[in-house]
Structure 1
């Protein structure tokens, strides 16, 4: 399933899989139902669903946070944030006298309410027994329906949304580092909040810390700010809690354009700025397609390798893994993806995790359009094929209920466990289906209108469906049926209507691989010298499940896969080496797993290691050494894989 012909077969295989199986009464202005117009009719049911989040204790139909003011001190010695969060509230229910907030492992010291005379007085509060996934509900009694409430608190050293790195774990080895990862529901581990994407708020922050640490937030970072241990921030646009972000460390700024640049450790800054030099072009391309960039600056913070994701679209300050900085811009589609979130996700936001495709599917589609515009259709097509092959592999193993774009309530116990291939790749594939049915001359203006119409709102799938039916299906009849729309959004697998993507460059890779497997003839160096990361990825992905040790030695001798600095290649090569018993790679595997914390890159190798006793031992020994440098999210993922391998019955494995 690797050549253009096999890509068509992939569509058929996924289609077969599809055939076999298949909140608030008075919302605030930023999430309210848009005014009724002939172009968009949004149902009351859709609006109610948009404000109902099963992964939050918040009750935004009673009261919601309108503005957040943080006063926090960063303490590297205790690995804590200490201070207060002050909320400006909108009481949406005239009878409500209680504020429910989400917390996880927070020590709540005091709660105060501002009285009508401007003075502050104590409020009664209760912290519930913690739930493993949701954390603890903080209930605050507010008989006077205080306009402002302040919670004083301290975070836990093991907060799931914060990573504290010793100096030895950074590139410079001199200054400690701290950064947050609030998505999906980890903001509650460092700020007591209505931790649901259905609630949007503005925020300000006053942060103090060591004078040798530059502090940044998902706000108005000043590239010329003095490093003095005292920082103030303002975010005037309303954002959901998962976009609240903070970082502190030995960081310097390197400009890319007048409105974009890179923050990184000193030894990385210029290298990263060079790799991401096309950022301004990406911004201009996206603006031409989908309207103005509405967040003023777009800067990128390059984090240490322990960052658990490729990137995080924190407004004004994308957090990015250094694993995409490989020297040839072959992996900068990550920047295109995180930038695209400035329209799809940050501007128009999913209202709960069961609608995550509204963020990631739209963003993956826009990312692909940016890549096509700047680097050519061949490159964008190769990346589409790689993503769809990953989707096919994932759909072989996951519950069909998780293969729908819009999940039913109760389907997703933990939002961190959503099917990434579904929300990213199937979501983007669906939008490509609409694009091809209607043509770009119709679909591009539709998408731009969608971003304008729902700007700075959090919406549900039902709201998107109503908008699409009114502005695509009704205005251009005969192109797409409601049944096709519903099949894509609510059904498992990939529909028969999915458009296939061909890649002639992958055809050449497939031919070279086949010649080597059949006759042992390695591809000509003149050919492979021109291969991009995407072609090498496809070359390895198309290999049989296992190879002989001699075959792996031959490949390694020719292409030096073992020890590669390219994480995208490593995450394919090392699992193949493990399955094939190629122990010559064990040392490099341990080094790779010890230095990289990005889950996408390391989890496939851990997953293969734990399948044999000797591999499980290597996994456990490596994890024990790597654990101090892993983010809590990555730690949890590795622990779960090892625990399941050691005791399948206890973890519910079949």
Structure 2
């Protein structure tokens, strides 16, 4: 996923829990491959109720109906269970699911109990089921109308304005609000699904579609999907709406609303090239197809790396592919995150930091070294800004953090992780490092991993001797706060021209005439580096000379609005209001409300008025972050 800054505690909101009536069953599934369960203390997931050493889910088969009127999902989940000899119970994760019945594969009723709900961190409630020898469970249930993983959009919230839309967002522990399973990244599961939806909506999932949809003759169609590779449960995802498909290459394509599809297809037109570049770096793409869906703008993230169907925000579309590092990032997750997954969320840098490094290497291969160095320099500036704010010794600046520790967002999880691998690569040489990282992916494919495993693998398969180990400072990078002294900083020449223009503007107010010819990264560097206190006259001059309020690049527009609102620039308020009403991406929404709120009565009055109108259109993830600001 691209740029997740919120800790788990912010990702969920509470809802009331009730019961329901039963629904139809689903066909039995064949035997599935099983990935190992890690048993070391650092692999124990504090965010799950599951006891995988006793009994665990290996396969999930869903048979669900999408009810757009009630904004609910309901049906049956059939689970394959692998239990230790003598195991009496299995424990699943749920959050306000309405359980109608639990039976075994033969229809025999099984006793079950829903435990007390824990609101903190969105952990939900345990569902404990008496196995009584069962190896298959059939759970009839409905998800609540307020299921946090699901966002139901009215036609007015879509580009087409005619049909409703639904999408899910499972990371980190949101999928327990619509699927009863063991919702932990260390418990990998294969899955299949039959989903029914009203015509003419199409359904896509993070599994391979099986044939054409079946017309049920009642105004609905059924869609079938299979994921035959074991994945962490947060990667089960679906979307449904008025969407069309454009082929990009022999194994790549993009879905989007018809009004969005032409721009989306043009923007991601080099995806096949990105996949080939990734394969040359770290081995075969193992998931078959690589498709994407560009969702309505309320999607809370830049992207989500759901297997075979990356979910993307439309806010990355700039018309010049300048934000396609996002596509490279989500693609790289097909190796780091989806293929090898952090066993616990305290090691999320194993997903995001490794992916950020991989992303930069793909960008270098496809778009050139200059662009890669500039994007790395922007990331490094984020690390420095965070460390300057919280201190080099803040515990949250370690890559691995303890359960409940304060996370400091993307500058650490993504960017420090990126620069850790970048530093090791520079010190041991690219050829050796690439061979090691490919080995890491191959050796741990379709398995969970921990920071300690990553460290030990480096010692065993990369480091030559004690002297080199000392030079690399591996433990300091992973387990200590701050930046180690050996960090491989970006090339200072990457932004030499821009930094000179920043100095000239700061000293003399000179607005760079070359701005229009700069890359998007250069433009962002300039806007993010100029003095933050600006008068209304200075802001008006910047906007007039650089066309900031007219830009088609949302990353640049965000930086402009952030600067303008921080200086109480009234002419920017209508555009900020429009932007916040159209865009639900948390990376943009939370900081803009924060900067408004920090302006005292002036900004808080604007924030309250805007949020009163926009809150209902935001995903639960975005709402949770803004609620903390305005409340």
What is the TM-score normalised by the length of structure 1? 0.88
- The alignment partner of 1:551 has SS state of helix
| Pairing 1:169–2:157 present | yes
**Counterparts of 1:135 and 1:517 in 2: how far apart (Å)?**
49
Q: What RMSD, in angstroms, separates the aligned Cα atoms of the two structures?
A: 1.8
Does the 8 A contact of 1:50 with 1:198 survive in 2?
no
1:399-428, Cα deviation, whole Å (9 max, x unpaired): 81111111123425xxxx562211100001
**Counterparts of 1:418 and 1:545 in 2: how far apart (Å)?**
23
1:177-210, Cα deviation, whole Å (9 max, x unpaired): 0000000110111111211001001101011111
Partner of 2:545: 558
Does the 8 A contact of 1:382 with 1:503 survive in 2?
no
1:190-241, Cα deviation, whole Å (9 max, x unpaired): 1112110010011010111111110111000369657862111110000001
Partner of 1:30: 35
1:516-571, Cα deviation, whole Å (9 max, x unpaired): 332233212xx222212111110111111211111101001112212533221122
1:126-275 aligned within 5 A: 126-221=114-209, 229-275=221-267
Of the three residues 609, 624, 639, the one matched with 2:596 is 609
**Counterparts of 1:504 and 1:224 in 2: how far apart (Å)?**
53
1:219-368 aligned within 5 A: 219-221=207-209, 229-368=221-360
Does the 8 A contact of 1:161 with 1:187 survive in 2?
yes
Does the 8 A contact of 1:51 with 1:60 survive in 2?
no
Partner of 1:639: 627
**Counterparts of 1:437 and 1:578 in 2: how far apart (Å)?**
43
**Counterparts of 1:129 and 1:518 in 2: how far apart (Å)?**
58
1:259-316, Cα deviation, whole Å (9 max, x unpaired): 0100100111122111111111111111111110000000000001111000000000
| Pairing 1:420–2:410 present | yes
| Pairing 1:586–2:573 present | yes
State the 1:29 CA deviation: 4.7
- The alignment partner of 1:74 has SS state of strand
Does the 8 A contact of 1:64 with 1:199 survive in 2?
yes
**Counterparts of 1:31 and 1:388 in 2: how far apart (Å)?**
36
**Counterparts of 1:220 and 1:50 in 2: how far apart (Å)?**
33
Partner of 1:466: 456
Structure 1 gap segments, 5+ residues each: 1-27, 34-46, 644-654
**Counterparts of 2:42 and 2:285 in 1: how far apart (Å)?**
25
Partner of 2:6: none
Partner of 2:426: 436
Structure 2 gap segments, 5+ residues each: 1-32
**Counterparts of 1:267 and 1:528 in 2: how far apart (Å)?**
31
| Pairing 1:65–2:57 present | yes
- The alignment partner of 2:198 has SS state of coil
Structure 1's 379 and 503: CA in aligned 2 closer, same or farther, altered over 3 A? farther
Does the 8 A contact of 2:427 with 2:472 survive in 1?
no
Partner of 2:88: 97
Of the three residues 483, 486, 489, the one matched with 1:497 is 486
- The alignment partner of 1:229 has SS state of strand
State the 1:614 CA deviation: 1.5
- The alignment partner of 1:294 has SS state of coil
1:319-364, Cα deviation, whole Å (9 max, x unpaired): 0000111100000010000000000000000000000010001100
Structure 1's consecutive aligned runs of 4 or more residues displaced over 6 angstroms after TM superposition are: none
1:39-118 aligned within 5 A: 47-49=39-41, 51-91=43-83, 93-114=84-105, 118=106
Does the 8 A contact of 1:563 with 1:588 survive in 2?
no
**Counterparts of 1:221 and 1:85 in 2: how far apart (Å)?**
18
